[in-house]
Structure 1
Amino acid sequence: MSNLNIRKVAVLGAGVMGAQIAAHLINAQVPVLLFDLPAKEGPKNGIALKAIENLKKLSPAPFGVKDDAQYIQPANYDDDIEKLKECDLVIEAIAERMDWKHDLYKKVSPHIGAKAIFATNTSGLSITELSKGFSDELKARFCGVHFFNPPRYMHLVELIPTDTTQPQILDQLETFLTSVVGKGVVRAKDTPNFIANRVGIFSILAVVAEAKKFGLRFDEVDDLTGARLGRAKSATFRTADVVGLDTMAHVIKTMQDNLPDDPFFPLYETPAVLANLVKNGALGQKSGAGFYKKEGKAIKVLDPKTGTYVDGGSKADELVGRILKRPPAERLKLLRESEHPQAQFLWSIFRDVFHYIGVHLDSVADNARDIDLAIRWGFGWNEGPFESWQAAGWTQVAKWVQEDIDAGKALSKAPLPSWVFDGPVAEKGGVHTAEGSWSATANKFSPRSSLDVYKKQVFRAPLIGEAGADPKTYGKTLFETDAVRAWVDDRAGEDDVVIVSFKSKMNTIGPSVIEALTKAIELAEADYKGVVIWQTSALKLGNPGGAFSAGANLEEAMPAFMMGGAKGIEPFVKNFQQGMLRVKYASVPVVAALSGIALGGGCELALHSAKRVAHIESYMGLVEVGVGLVPAGGGLKEAALRAASAASAVNATSDLLKFLQKSFENAAMAKVSASALEARSMGYLKASDTIVFNVHELLDIAKKEARALSAAGYRAPLRVTQIPVAGRSAISTIKASLVNMRDGRFISDHDFLIASRIAEVVCGGDVEAGSLVDEEWLLALERRAFIDLLGTAKTQERIMGMLQTGKPVRN
């Protein structure tokens, strides 16, 4: 397969989706032209320019760094249509109207490059119908590419071919979307609403129908169908509000218009409550009201009987909550047998979805895997519906579902297909097996895609029942403790780098982790090319990237504090600092493979590594201020070192404060990067560090970076013994600005004290400006500030508040 070199992309349509797709392509360093109609007044690119400006205000943020909005090139169809020839990929993303799309295609198709891929971002329109009127040559390069909203954060992209789309085009586009854009690609059939929206919207309609049947409130349903079921916290009705009720109504209308022979067709009627909300302009979050409405600080919920908003807060019954914590088979059995309306409701929505995917597998997807991954990645479920069915006991659940169908309790009279009860699926106990996932169309188990891009994924998204590699046991274990596993990928050619994975809660770092990490480095120095610190939680896509490390494990320090007070903590802090230095001065490269949060000590571990490979959704920061402390694992020491190095590079060591300012503010304000790109602009990542877009490629790329450093003759940095520091004059300057903030009541007296101690460390302490110190001097300043603050009542209040509530205390 020849490579697809995407040098530039055109996005047609600067609406909500088009603009955000453009923004995420810019995150991925792909040049983008954003087209829209010429404005009737002002600059002709006014519509596109306004959309780009609006991107900066959206939350969650479409850009990794807001200023990158400047790289989207605005365009209009009158002046810039010839520029389409410069683009290797053209993505149309205008409103979901077949006639509007066809009108646009007539205009742009003569100007699309002879080898460019043309794709439509539609949530459910027929790709084959959209391609009508194209030349045969353009039809071969046309397909659907359905991003989910918001495109930066939602992992799913559905790729939808027509009968005439060249297979090579699909392979190339899947490779680009997977590796460059960082998505999980599922190939869908060209059926109404494809896979995720077809099954996901059905599941919402089933929830609406069953909630009405059992008399449950919307907030009660959301408590039942969110985190308790391993699904998105926004659950059902909050999710609908976020997506937009008009969008949801449109997707339902597509099913009404195109699926008249579907055995579940009566359910595709737009629910009256939804129709009324849309009619009244209550479109959800974007209009300020939908199923929920915020009034002041209170979140109100719609009462469908009165049409008014009432106080929210209805929860799952404690009995039902306990049932949901039981193993899958027992859980479904108890829900089915209980007479509690909440339990009956939950059994009903499980049954309805199992019924639907059983009946529709052959028409909706090539195999069961594509349905499960589409729902997991597109709707935020921890398990796909087929996985839940299989985990609870395939044959038993199938019998229960069929019994309900026969008894008239289900939403359709259509029986489950014969493959559910007889043949390979029944014999294997489910649709996911070591051979692959069941294809009802091909009547066999279908293996995973063998595209080269997936060779970079040591651990592909796992499925219950499949024989995928378990990251907790995969490879050859070198040693394992309660805190850490050190291992190698024992495939030929892959076993030359030691991988260290933490096992502590939130991958926190205490003496046991430091000890094991040191041992792993010693092993690598003797027999391997490098060390990669990679956490198995990187694969948890529900929480983008899980946690690299939430910081120091203060629980391990508590016994020392109870025995010796604040002073008793000093050995703990010194051990942490020495562990960081061991990482920094290892004779083999130590590479931190970052994803999710890297806070406090986790950030400091990354700072001391030879190199960082970070997933785009990496959130880095020195946040100790939140618990009334200062960073004391070498983070402030590294800030002073980097400032001195930057100042020396431009011969400006007499003005060190200018180079310290950003690092001081980052730590004093506990700033956390909103992406890996922002972490780079904040100084936590270097320009030479690698940013990865697909979290499943993180480990492979980190290992390659370790090997590359080794092959280039890696040497540990020389220990710096003469670090110029800004000294007491710079401390005074910083304190003067802090006084103004304190006296203006922007910060508390304790905030002032903590920030002052941070200033003292990064400026090198009470010495003359330009004095030369070493790393140990700066580390001693960190320790002293940390221990002094730990001895104060207000810091102890902050620590206890954080432990008890998980939220910072302002005092």
Structure 2
Amino acid sequence: MSTNIPFHRIKRVAVLGSGVMGSAIACHLAQCGAEVLLLDLPSDEGPRDAIAAGHLKKSLKGKPSPIYSKRFAARIETGNFDDDLSKIAQCDWILEVVVERLDIKQQLFEKVEQHRRPGTYITSNTSGIPMAMLVEGRSDDFKAHFCGTHFFNPPRYLQLLEIIPAPHTRQEVVDFFMAYGEKILGKQTVLCKDTPAFIANRVGVFAIQALFHTVQDMGLSVEAVDKLTGPAMGRPKSATFRTCDVVGIDTLVHVANGVAQNCPDDERAEVFGIPSFVQHLVDKGHLGSKSGQGFYKKVVQDGKKEIHALDLKTLEYNPKQKVKFATLDAAKQVDDLKARTQLLFQGQDQAGEFYRRIFADVFAYVSHRLPEISDEIFRIDDALRAGFGWELGAFESWDAVGLEAGLKACADRGLDVAPWVHELVASGATSFYSAADGKRTCWDVASKTNTVIPGQEGRIALALLDEDKTVWSNSGTTIQDLGDGILNIAFHTKMNTIGAEVIEGLNKAVDLAESDPKWRGLVISNEGANFSAGANVGMIFMLAVEQEWDELDYAIRMFQNTTMRLRYSGIPVVAAPHQLTLGGGCEVCLHVDKVVAHAETYVGLVEFGVGVIPGGGGTKEFVL
């Protein structure tokens, strides 16, 4: 995404509303460099700013933390609407995050317009109120600089930022927030149409609702569904029911009811009806984590804490039961998610039937959402990955199981697929996505051709590089030519742990870079879930158990020599860690010339936790 408006235009942001989302958004803006004015209603008791200050304090105590470092909270000033609203005149962006009621938002915007400088950006975090309704009665300048900026909770950890233009929004405003959200706020920005629930919630909540009905039909338990819909299929560890508890069951019901009311012509409108077991929880006030119980609850028995799960038939809580499926057992042996998704889809037990049903529901549904909620396939997938934590979006999952197989599953369920999908098949295409010249392409419904997905300029996707860019590889690493004389070595062992194959690859990368003058530098990076979970402790443990002291000494020396090669190599070495960067992964970073770390990098020498002293030079580096 690109914009002609400089990012430094945003120096001070007013966040109007300090609830769970308002405070968390304020924290994220502050840690990204902005000064923040956080306002809420004046308090009837104590200091006038007590509501905003109290909400912020509670948010800062939350786990996981909404902010990288508590010191960034000093950039947040709290206040109240009555005494401090005039301060928005000094703000460059005004972001509304009050309760999801049209009348309250409109009343606040009327007051905002009395103090807002012309040209100041103003946006709403609404999760579904139409943009046109929000700006009714506002000035032309207000309307021209207004759009939706829908963050997902928690803002620090969920990447999605939906940008929703209003009818009179200037294109330059949309372009700015698409680029600012990505480059400064670290978000996956997704351009949305102003339709009910926008993109992520429209499809994501449908997927959950359809799953609820399938669970009822198949008689599956809460525990079984969360086992099936977690990491095995590339979804968060919280899976389905635990995610509902965390987000809030009332929030899910609110979005589902909103779609049901505002989309009467939706071909699957009945799916948004609330199942009896969900309505039971809402009626009881059992809304998930916020109320202490939902689909799960913690109990104390005989002085021990236990997790009990809701029985969807009796509506009573029982101790969690272990579940087992042959298809899941087989999937454990497959690391590649696309291959694993196909295996799950083809399963011949109850799990396989479950997967075919839930995938078919989503496949058919998303096919009909074009062009209603988006003109492009990739925007729907981007929204689901970034907003719901799916590793594969809906169309990417369809590609994984196979286009024809997905169509058959839909037909078996009696679900109609949009005509454009049949046109895609008739064209001879076998997938929604492909790659060309190192760029990702997808099927464009309007032009009926494969087009390059925008926004890839200035980016390098290792997985999309042509085969001739691979310089060398072994079972655990791949060395690729990034262009401009730069080599990259990527690890692809389990959790990118460092064993003999990674050490061999690192030495080979330095050998190549130093031996040929065409190479000017080396990058150590990968596209896995983690940079590296450290050395292969299992291998070290086995060598110790078997008392193979010479081999253990050799392995440690090889790793030490390798990290020292990185330190004293004749070419610059840059490491780009992300997420887990532990033990040996940390030691690799300690020895390179430059570290360019992702904001969410968890780095450290954790070997002491398993009774091992860091052996790759990390102890020495900490002393120095």
TM-score, normalization: structure 1?
0.70
1:194-233, Cα deviation, whole Å (9 max, x unpaired): 1111111111111111111222222222222222322222
Q: 1:554 to 1:250 in 2, by over 3 A?
A: closer
Separation in 1, partners of 2:505, 2:444: 46
Separation in 2, partners of 1:504, 1:341: 31
1:553-607, Cα deviation, whole Å (9 max, x unpaired): 3456578657764465334333322322222233433222111111112212212
RMSD: 2.7
Offset, 1:634: 2.1
1:774-810, Cα deviation, whole Å (9 max, x unpaired): xxxxxxxxxxxxxxxxxxxxxxxxxxxxxxxxxxxxx
Matched, 1:252 2:252: no
Determine helix, strand or coil for the equivalent of 1:427: coil
Offset, 1:18: 1.0
Separation in 2, partners of 1:41, 1:311: 44
1:277 counterpart residue number = 281
Determine helix, strand or coil for the equivalent of 2:613: coil
Specify which structure has the higher proportion of helix. Answer: 1
Determine helix, strand or coil for the equivalent of 1:638: helix
Offset, 1:252: 1.3
Matched, 1:612 2:595: yes
Q: 1:242 to 1:347 in 2, by over 3 A?
A: same
Separation in 1, partners of 2:506, 2:329: 40
Contact 1:390 1:430 (C-alpha < 8 Å) held by counterparts: yes
Larger radius of gyration: 1
Contact 1:139 1:164 (C-alpha < 8 Å) held by counterparts: yes
2:495 counterpart residue number = 506
Q: 1:286-685 counterparts in 2 under 5 A?
A: 286-296=290-300, 297-318=305-326, 322=330, 332=345, 334=346, 342-402=351-411, 404-405=413-414, 415-422=416-423, 427-433=428-434, 436-440=441-445, 442=446, 444-445=448-449, 447-448=451-452, 450=454, 454-459=456-461, 470=463, 476-490=469-483, 495-510=484-499, 512-525=501-514, 527=517, 528-537=519-528, 546-554=529-537, 561=544, 565-566=548-549, 569-641=552-624
The more displaced of 225-234 and 192-201 is 225-234
Offset, 1:298: 1.3
The amino acid that maps onto 1:508 is T
Offset, 1:510: 4.0
Contact 2:356 2:409 (C-alpha < 8 Å) held by counterparts: no
2:135 counterpart residue number = 131
Separation in 2, partners of 1:112, 1:376: 35
1:696 counterpart residue number = none
Separation in 2, partners of 1:42, 1:372: 48
Percent identity of the aligned residues? 39
- Out of 3, 6, 9, the residue aligned to residue 3 of structure 1 is 6
Q: 1:29 to 1:107 in 2, by over 3 A?
A: same
- Equivalent residues, number: 605
Contact 1:155 1:182 (C-alpha < 8 Å) held by counterparts: yes
- Out of 115, 119, 127, the residue aligned to residue 115 of structure 1 is 119
Q: 1:476 to 1:427 in 2, by over 3 A?
A: closer
Structure 2 runs not aligned, ≥5 long: none
Separation in 2, partners of 1:317, 1:559: 31
The amino acid that maps onto 1:349 is I
The more displaced of 298-307 and 590-599 is 298-307
2:199 counterpart residue number = 195
Separation in 2, partners of 1:309, 1:62: 32
Matched, 1:36 2:40: yes
Contact 2:287 2:293 (C-alpha < 8 Å) held by counterparts: yes
The amino acid that maps onto 1:74 is T
Q: 1:536 to 1:356 in 2, by over 3 A?
A: closer
Offset, 1:162: 2.0
Contact 1:224 1:315 (C-alpha < 8 Å) held by counterparts: no
Q: 1:331 to 1:600 in 2, by over 3 A?
A: closer
Separation in 2, partners of 1:329, 1:606: 36
Determine helix, strand or coil for the equivalent of 1:594: coil
2:21 counterpart residue number = 17
Q: 1:10 to 1:475 in 2, by over 3 A?
A: farther
1:88-124, Cα deviation, whole Å (9 max, x unpaired): 2221111111111111111112322322221111222
Offset, 1:14: 0.5
Q: 1:404 to 1:593 in 2, by over 3 A?
A: closer
TM-score, normalization: structure 2?
0.90
Q: 1:40 to 1:390 in 2, by over 3 A?
A: same
Contact 2:357 2:413 (C-alpha < 8 Å) held by counterparts: no
Q: 1:319 to 1:154 in 2, by over 3 A?
A: closer
Offset, 1:519: 4.2
Determine helix, strand or coil for the equivalent of 2:413: helix
Offset, 1:65: 1.5
The amino acid that maps onto 2:458 is K
The amino acid that maps onto 1:368 is I
1:654 counterpart residue number = none
Structure 1 runs not aligned, ≥5 long: 460-468, 538-545, 642-811
Offset, 1:496: 2.7
Determine helix, strand or coil for the equivalent of 2:46: coil
Offset, 1:512: 4.8
Q: 1:444 to 1:120 in 2, by over 3 A?
A: farther
1:165 counterpart residue number = 169
